[in-house]
Amino acid sequence: MGNWVVNHWFSVLFLVVWLGLNVFLFVDAFLKYEKADKYYYTRKILGFCSRTLRKQLDHNLTFHKLVAYMICLHTAIHIIAHLFNFDCYSRSRQATDGSLASILSSLSHDEKKGGSWLNPIQSRNTTVEYVTFTSIAGLTGVIMTIALILMVTSATEFIRRSYFEVFWYTHHLFIFYILGLGIHGIGGIVRGQTEESMNESHPRKCAESFEMWDDRDSHCRRPKFEGHPPESWKWILAPVILYICERILRFYRSQQKVVITKVVMHPSKVLELQMNKRGFSMEVGQYIFVNCPSISLLEWHPFTLTSAPEEDFFSIHIRAAGDWTENLIRAFEQQYSPIPRIEVDGPFGTASEDVFQYEVAVLVGAGIGVTPFASILKSIWYKFQCADHNLKTKKIYFYWICRETGAFSWFNNLLTSLEQEMEELGKVGFLNYRLFLTGWDSNIVGHAALNFDKATDIVTGLKQKTSFGRPMWDNEFSTIATSHPKSVVGVFLCGPRTLAKSLRKCCHRYSSLDPRKVQFYFNKENF
C-alpha cells in the first residue's frame, strides 16, 4: 500500500482536484440558474420538467421494492448455481476413474505441506452440508439467505400494517446481510490457477498430459491454485457510506428539542399534537418521522403534517392503528403524568407538494388519509387572508370518504372557516368539497332525510350535505373534464390501493388525446 501511494500520489491528487473542481463548477452553475432573477421566466417554463422529475422521485418506495425483488431473484439464481457446483464437486471427489476432474479433486488441502486444493470437498466422507456450515462462504451465505427471507416475508402489506414492530425490527437484519455480503468471498471457494503456476504449466499445454504431471521428464508440473480476492465490497462501499452519512444527519436532526404546545383528543381515537422546533420549515403535504423514546427507542413512524406553512407551529393527527400508536395515545391521555418526550425527524417531501402547480386540483382522502389535504386547505385559507396573487390554482375538488361520522369532526372547523372565507371574498366556487359516509345504517339515513331541508347538514353541521356510499368516479371525472376542457388537472390521493387503481384508470380514461385539452395527472402518497 505504501509503495502504491508513493508511485501514484500525484495521479490521485490530480484526480481529486479535478473532480472537486467539476463539482464546484456544477454547484455554482446550478445556484446561478436557480436563484438569479434574470432566469425567473426560464424557471417558470422549466417548472413542469422539475415537477415531472419529482414525480419520479416520489416512486422511491416502488424502486426500493423493485431492487428487493431483483436481489431475491439473483440470490435464487446464485444459490441454484452453487447447488449444481457442489453436486459436481461431490461427484468429482467420489470419482475413482483417474479422470482430470478426479485428479484435481484429490489435490491436498494441507497448505503447510505445500498443498494447493481446487475442490472444497476435502475427502470422500465430507458432505456438502458439512462444507456449507464450516466454510466462510457457506455460513455467510446461509445467514444472508435467512436474513433476506425474513426481511421479505415481514415486509408484506398484511404484516407491515398489522404488526409494524415485526416489520420494523426484522427489516434491520439488512445490517447482517450487508456484513455477510462483505466477507462472503473471503473463503475463496471458487479458485483459479496462480500466475506463477500458469507460467510454469499453462493449462492449454498441460491439461491433456495430466497423467504425466509427476514425471521428472515432463515439463508440466502439478498446478497451484488460489482463491479470488473478494470483490463484493466494491458494490456495497458507496451505499454504506451514504447510508451512514444519512443516519448521522437524521440523528442530529432528531436530537433537536421538540416542544409540544397543544394536545387535542378527537373522536374515533385520534390524537392531535401541535409542536414547535427550532429551524423547522415545511411545505404543504409533507410528512415527518416521530419517535417516542418512552415507548420504543428504535421505532420511527411517518405522519403527515396537518398544519400549514403559514402557521407558527406544526401539527400531526395520529389514529390508533397498532400497538405503538395506541400506547402513544394512552400516554397522552394520562392527565397527571408528565407529557412524553417526542423526537422528530424531517420534514420529507411527497407528491402533494405540487398541488399548487396545477390549475385544477382534485384531492381525495380516505379516513385519516385526509391529513395532507388538511395542510393544503389551511394554506389556501391563509393565502386568501393575505390576498396571495401568485396562487396558480383556480379550482379545487375535495372528496373525503369516511367510515364513521365521528371522523368528520376532525376538520369541521377548518371547512366551516373556508366556507365563510369563500363567501366573504366572493369565491364560493373555488372549493367544491364532497363528504361521503360509507359506514351508515337506516337510522342515520332516516334522520338525514327528515332534516334535508335544513341549511346545514345534520351529520357534520356544514352547508355541504353528506352523501351516503362511495363516489361514482366516472360521473365525477366526466363532470370535471366538461367543466375544465383545456386545463391540467392534478389528482392527489391518500388512501388504499384499490381506490388508487380506480382513480388511475379514470385519469387515463378522461385525459384527452389532444395535449392542448384536459389532462389528468395522478399522484399518490407513498408510505
pLDDT score of 39 more than 80? no
Give kind and range of the element (H or E) at residue 488.
Answer: strand 488-494
pLDDT value of residue 387: 66
CA angle 472, 474, 480 (to 5 degrees): 105
List CB contacts of 426: < 8 A, sequence separation 6 or more: none
CB 354 within 8 A of CB 54: yes
* Range of weakest confidence among 80-84, 374-378, 415-419: 415-419
DSSP bridge pairs for 360: 395, 489
| CB neighbour class for 110 (10 Å; exposed up to 12, middle 13-18, buried from 19) | exposed
483/519 Cα distance (integer angstroms): 13
Neighbours of 261 (CB within 10 A): 12
pTM over 0.85: no
pLDDT score of 286 more than 50? yes
Question: What is the β-pairing status of strands 467-468 and 488-494?
Answer: unpaired
317/274 Cα distance (integer angstroms): 9
Question: Nine-digit cell at 318?
Answer: 395520529
| CB neighbour class for 154 (10 Å; exposed up to 12, middle 13-18, buried from 19) | middle
525/527 Cα distance (integer angstroms): 7
pLDDT score of 41 more than 60? no
List CB contacts of 342: < 8 A, sequence separation 6 or more: 258, 260, 273, 275, 290, 291, 292
pLDDT score of 167 more than 80? yes
CA quadruple 238, 241, 243, 249: dihedral, nearest 10: -140
Mean pLDDT of the chain: 79
pLDDT score of 53 more than 70? no
275/289 Cα distance (integer angstroms): 13
Counting other chains too, the contacts that 127-130 makes at CB distance below 8 Å and 24 or more residues apart are: 128/86, 128/87, 128/89, 128/90
Render pLDDT for 253-266 as a digit per residue (tens, 0 to 9): 878 888 888 888 87
pLDDT score of 113 more than 60? no
| 143 pLDDT tier (thresholds 50, 70, 90) | very high
The residue-averaged pLDDT of 270-289 equals 86
pLDDT value of residue 104: 79
450/140 Cα distance (integer angstroms): 71
pLDDT value of residue 21: 83
pLDDT score of 295 more than 70? yes
Percent of the chain residues past pLDDT 70, beyond the cut: 81
List CB contacts of 296: < 8 A, sequence separation 6 or more: 165, 324
